[in-house]
Amino acid sequence: MNRQELIKTFSDNHHTVIAYIQALPEPHFSYRNHEKWTAGQQLKHILLTLLPFPKVLQSKDYIAQKFGSLQRATWDYDTVRNNYLKTSRQAPSQFLPEEILPAQKEGLIAQLEEVLAKINQL
């Protein structure tokens, strides 16, 4: 996958999630299956994980300073997935969403679309 295809897929996938959540009626937006996150919390989690991207993407030097350079071959999708499945799959505390009310849905969607637009510009 080349850079433009990756950017398009990244953007399209996030817009698919936004459209899905936006279409949910209030009871479904707030529904919790046992201890799983609600759709609102999923939306907030996605926003929290993307918020750092505009700052990070502005500078290759910042990325290299913060994370170093890759000292191995790039992983393919299956390798990334298999390594992810070996982790605890628990979000770090800074990416944990609080309870989200249905009244917050449109504001969160607007924030997420704004962040995605910035990422796409970069």
pTM of the entire structure? 0.84
DSSP classification of residue 72: S
Domain encompassing residue 81:
3-121
Does residue 106 surpass a pLDDT of 90?
Answer: yes
Average pLDDT over residues 57-81: 86
Please check the confidence at residue 114 and state whether its pLDDT lies above 90: yes
pLDDT digits (tens, 9 = 90+) for 16-38: 999 999 999 999 999 999 999 99
d(CA 82, CA 89): 12
| Highest mean pLDDT: which range of 1-10, 75-84, 95-104 | 95-104
Question: Are the CB atoms for 105 and 46 separated by under 8 Å?
Answer: no
Count of structural domains, the chain: 1
pLDDT, position 57: 85
